[in-house]
Structure 1
């Protein structure tokens, strides 16, 4: 049995783990990074980048559908070569993964351990059956894995998770997508626009990241006009048949429908990878979901020398947050017990559907009733949005009564990824509605829609 003694042991070589390792090394500490799976981040392998590659192809195909409205006539038809689409997705995906692997290759061999780590106690880890690591502090950065509801298991080998889509060599004829959240909407709409017959099934009337009832309703209607979307579906059975899957869907009026698909795609969320870490052997306090309780400003688990970062802590599963959390955890592990609060940025989330969805700062559900006003704008009559025939959308910005401070926003609309950044910067700098209205707005741009919503909020604040 090999023995290794380090100041900081990092479990997981994804975005958060690599950031933690680099922070510890930069602080002059002896560190090791342990990985039991393939190197390469969730973002590069199965998340942000391959999904955007699929979406880019879908957007190119969908653009021709608006040509007639612009007076551009398409002679003949557009043919989607599914094999070519997926070949580019895989090729470019592998290129992005290669960049990550190059960074891992630059880590000294003696700082890398291959295998699955399990805590023996607060200061030691067993890595498979070959190494014991004794450490001063540890950072858990083990990421997450797709969660699959038991009801979908009847699909057998025709059930895949969203991660698996990017390994397809051809586009299927049809797919049932379960989970109209961030991932499900992106992949489901992209497949639909690439010619796949898609139906989407959810529960609880949730759609995307929205908590504002008006935004939920608008998004449900908008996507439901493009493909069948059931946000509170009752699927009573799923079975593997022939070359695909058959499911039974029940409706409120007592009727049922039998539907067949080539594939069932589970985009039903992700679960933190913490079950097999031996956390019960440590003094950390575990929550009901098995995730250690931690301080999100320091990433420290209680008063121990164990920290947790990235998707493993089940807080904000986004790449930029994982990078921040990993850095904070690594720095604090290096300086322990002199732990310091790290910078947590204004929350921002974007769904790269069409129209795009975004949330910034506090969502509607996070705000105390009667403590804020809502500034609203519809993009349906917004000048630039109509010019480019992308005039679908609704934006709600929330401002604090009394102070007028910008608190949050939920929105659906054309390229709202850019509006989200403007608002995140404004909110993190403590801007009020009035101060934001003093900023420049060019004409004609979609950002003028934000100005309209801010003016609406200002009027409501004056009357509050």
Structure 2
């Protein structure tokens, strides 16, 4: 068995692991990168990239049906479902070289394509190689959680790891799970010509602000997506092409294809963490604020560290870890400024505290600003006036922002910056946004914070009166 000694061993070549490896090796550290599956991980191969490519194709199809408000006669698109999937995989292939083994070897990493397992507190084995490292970074990500529903194991079903390989359009897709993945895939497939039913045991999009989630769900229902909430699945039966999903209230939903999208579970299988003295549970590796595990030589990032399961969180974690293990600087991770978005139409986005969380934390000190997209000229021009921005403000600073509307995933970035940098509302109000843009909605919301102080202030009005009387 070949023995390798290195400074840093990164386990997992998804978004977070690749960021650590690229940053560390380019700053002079010796890096071994281990990946038993596909380079690029879930985000590139079965998550963010293919889902957004599919959503883009669905958006193009929807545009052909929805032009009547603009004076454009609607036309039913002729959807070539296999060609749509060709588009999806072309996008993956275009991005793949950035995450490839060849690129990282070119940067100077030693890349090992095998599954890793710890054989000691400072050593792992992968294939025919044994790697001893000064520091380890666990970046193994997560995989779809498949619930123990009676009958499910006996039927063909899809997850986000397999749905993109389906080249025949489902006649009726049943989606178990009304979270972000389930709702994104439901709307995309509906727009591509499938009948779609979503079955959710609690509230669909239940993680977000309920008022804003309602905006999204209303639009999806308007497009023909059937959404059954508070409907736990009790059984699955049938055969390929004829699947029956039994619900807790005795109803049965019948369809041709089944997508299971009820969440994700951390992928730590086979790592032999006990041997390394690394504490973990079903949520992930137990880490402190610096993302360090119980074994002080080991760090965990992204999904493997528990918490928010987003690609950009893994990238953020990578930066926190690099500062420590490459530069020797202290660094801690915080989630208060991390945004997230669901790419339905309209989009749903959040950063910081929701209205309910902010009320609980700050009570009467909280001011909630509301700005509707129907007051944004660009949104009206685009025919996308349905939507709402909420900003939670305490002592002149935003502590959270929630948004449902067009381009919410893009617009939330300004509020993420404001929260991470500790900006005051005056900074946002003083920003000059191009007209007409969706971004003006943030400026108007910030301006509304000062309106009562400016327009409902008797003392100010007296001062203005004196100025107008005596100003030369």
Is the shorter-chain TM-score for this pair beyond 0.5, marking a shared fold? yes
Structure 1 residues 28, 97: closer, same or farther in 2, change over 3 A?
A: closer
Query: Counterpart of 2:49?
Result: 49
Query: Counterpart of 2:351?
Result: 360
Following the alignment from structure 1 to structure 2, what is the Cα–Cα distance between the partners of residues 331 and 442? 37
Query: Counterpart of 1:435?
Result: 427
Which has the larger Rg? 2
Structure 2 residue 88 is the aligned partner of structure 1 residue 89: yes
Query: Counterpart of 1:193?
Result: 191
Query: Residues 249-273 of structure 1: CA distance to partner in whole angstroms, max 9, x if unpaired?
Result: 344xxxx433221211112211111
**What SS does the corresponding residue of 2:285 show, helix, strand or coil?**
coil
Structure 1 residues 448, 29: closer, same or farther in 2, change over 3 A?
A: closer
Following the alignment from structure 1 to structure 2, what is the Cα–Cα distance between the partners of residues 354 and 428? 27
Deviation (angstroms), 1:428: 2.4
Count residues with an aligned counterpart.
Answer: 449
Deviation (angstroms), 1:155: 6.2
Structure 1 residues 405, 303: closer, same or farther in 2, change over 3 A?
A: farther
Deviation (angstroms), 1:139: 0.9
Query: Residues 190-227 of structure 1: CA distance to partner in whole angstroms, max 9, x if unpaired?
Result: 111010111112222140641x2322333333333331
Query: Counterpart of 1:145?
Result: 143
Query: Residues 162-196 of structure 1: CA distance to partner in whole angstroms, max 9, x if unpaired?
Result: 22121122221111112222222211111110101
Alignment of 1:321-360 (within 5 A): 321-334=313-326, 338=328, 340-341=330-331, 346-360=337-351
**What SS does the corresponding residue of 1:391 show, helix, strand or coil?**
coil
**What SS does the corresponding residue of 1:161 show, helix, strand or coil?**
coil
Alignment of 1:247-258 (within 5 A): 247-251=245-249, 256-258=250-252
TM-score (norm 2): 0.87
Following the alignment from structure 2 to structure 1, what is the Cα–Cα distance between the partners of residues 155 and 96? 27
Alignment of 1:398-437 (within 5 A): 398-400=392-394, 403-437=395-429
TM-score (norm 1): 0.88
Pairwise CA RMSD of aligned residues?
Answer: 2.6
Query: Counterpart of 1:299?
Result: 291
Following the alignment from structure 1 to structure 2, what is the Cα–Cα distance between the partners of residues 459 and 339? 44
Following the alignment from structure 1 to structure 2, what is the Cα–Cα distance between the partners of residues 441 and 32? 46
Structure 1 residues 427, 339: closer, same or farther in 2, change over 3 A?
A: closer
Query: Residues 373-406 of structure 1: CA distance to partner in whole angstroms, max 9, x if unpaired?
Result: 2111222454332222112112111101xx2101
**What SS does the corresponding residue of 1:69 show, helix, strand or coil?**
helix
Counterpart selection for 2:210 from 210, 213, 225: 213
Query: Residues 324-362 of structure 1: CA distance to partner in whole angstroms, max 9, x if unpaired?
Result: 322432442345xx5511676831112221101111233
Structure 2 residue 16 is the aligned partner of structure 1 residue 16: yes
Following the alignment from structure 1 to structure 2, what is the Cα–Cα distance between the partners of residues 51 and 36? 23
Alignment of 1:16-165 (within 5 A): 16-74=16-74, 77-101=76-100, 102-106=102-106, 111-128=110-127, 130-151=128-149, 154=152, 156-165=154-163
Following the alignment from structure 2 to structure 1, what is the Cα–Cα distance between the partners of residues 418 and 120? 45
Following the alignment from structure 2 to structure 1, what is the Cα–Cα distance between the partners of residues 141 and 214? 32
Structure 1 residues 380, 156: closer, same or farther in 2, change over 3 A?
A: farther
Query: Counterpart of 1:240?
Result: 238
Query: Counterpart of 1:284?
Result: 278
Q: Which runs of 5+ in 2 are unaligned?
A: 457-472
- Contact in 1 for aligned 2:14/2:41 (Cα 8 Å): yes
**What SS does the corresponding residue of 1:376 show, helix, strand or coil?**
strand
Query: Counterpart of 2:170?
Result: 172
User: RCO greater where, 1 or 2, for CA within 8 Å and sep 6 or more?
Assistant: 1
Structure 2 residue 310 is the aligned partner of structure 1 residue 318: yes
Deviation (angstroms), 1:456: 4.2
Structure 1 residues 237, 457: closer, same or farther in 2, change over 3 A?
A: farther
Structure 2 residue 220 is the aligned partner of structure 1 residue 223: yes
- Contact in 2 for aligned 1:45/1:94 (Cα 8 Å): no
Q: Which runs of 5+ in 1 are unaligned?
A: none
Structure 2 residue 380 is the aligned partner of structure 1 residue 389: no
Query: Counterpart of 1:446?
Result: 438
- Contact in 2 for aligned 1:24/1:331 (Cα 8 Å): no
Following the alignment from structure 2 to structure 1, what is the Cα–Cα distance between the partners of residues 138 and 346? 36
Following the alignment from structure 1 to structure 2, what is the Cα–Cα distance between the partners of residues 171 and 312? 34
Following the alignment from structure 2 to structure 1, what is the Cα–Cα distance between the partners of residues 240 and 20? 48
